[in-house]
Amino acid sequence: MSSRPDDGHSRERILAAATRLFAERGYDATSTRAIGEAVGLNIATVAYHVGAKPELYRAVMRRAHLAQREAVTAALHRLDACGPSPRETRGALLDFVDSYLTFCLDHPEVPALWMRRWLAEGTELTEIETEFAGPLVAEVAAAVRTVLDRAGLGAGADIELLVFTIVWTAHSFGQAGVIDATGRRLGPHDLPTLDRFRRHLHAVVTGVLDREP
């Protein structure tokens, strides 16, 4: 294997390979050696560019978070700009949901990385939730609550759990799809199944908004 610390593309190649392997196998089952082998570099070269395994994992999760945050922030800006009527607000909130679902389907490695953490992968790296996941969920919940209050909607809704519900279902559907009566797994590439899931998710969101306090 080659060891060329002056290779300007090595860091990006390492991060791309690490993202794929951490998403596929999880933190605990992915070694620095395996990441190096995936890009044709030895362990010393991997460490030169990205540090030890915990630093590499933090870099991967930071990139995933920044991509997620960029998509969510843009969707929140569009939600905040909607008209104040209940009809306009409902439509804008469903557009927000669709935007997040589209992000998950376009970047399947991001939901996969987070779902691995849900399975207690890399539990010693608690700063991932403290720095990334927790603040973003709180920001989204506060922004959605503000827009709903403006329209007089969802007075009795637990918005934080609604946000988590959107995340849980979008991530899970994107990764696993659904299983039909014959045992076939139908995922987001099956357009009727995707449309069915989208309509169901919309119904869940609007059902929460319509629930009595």
- Identify the pLDDT of residue 3: 44
The Cα–Cα gap between 213 and 209 comes to 10
pLDDT band at 10 (very low <50, low <70, confident <90, very high): confident
Q: Identify the CA nearest to 102 among candidates 134, 135, 78, 132.
A: 78
Architecture of domain 1-51: Orthogonal Bundle (1.10)
Architecture of domain 60-210: Orthogonal Bundle (1.10)
Q: Where in the chain is the domain with CATH 1.10.357?
A: 60-210
> Quick one: what percent of the chain has pLDDT higher than 70?
95
What's the predicted TM-score (pTM) here? Answer: 0.90
The Cα–Cα gap between 79 and 95 comes to 8
The Cα–Cα gap between 131 and 205 comes to 27
Instruction: Say how many C-beta atoms besides its own lie within 10 A of residue 151's C-beta.
Output: 19
Q: Where in the chain is the domain with CATH 1.10.10.60?
A: 1-51
Tens-digit pLDDT profile for residues 143-187: 999 999 999 999 989 999 999 999 999 999 999 999 999 999 999
Mean pLDDT of 12-24: 96
Pick the residue with more confidence: 77 or 127?
77
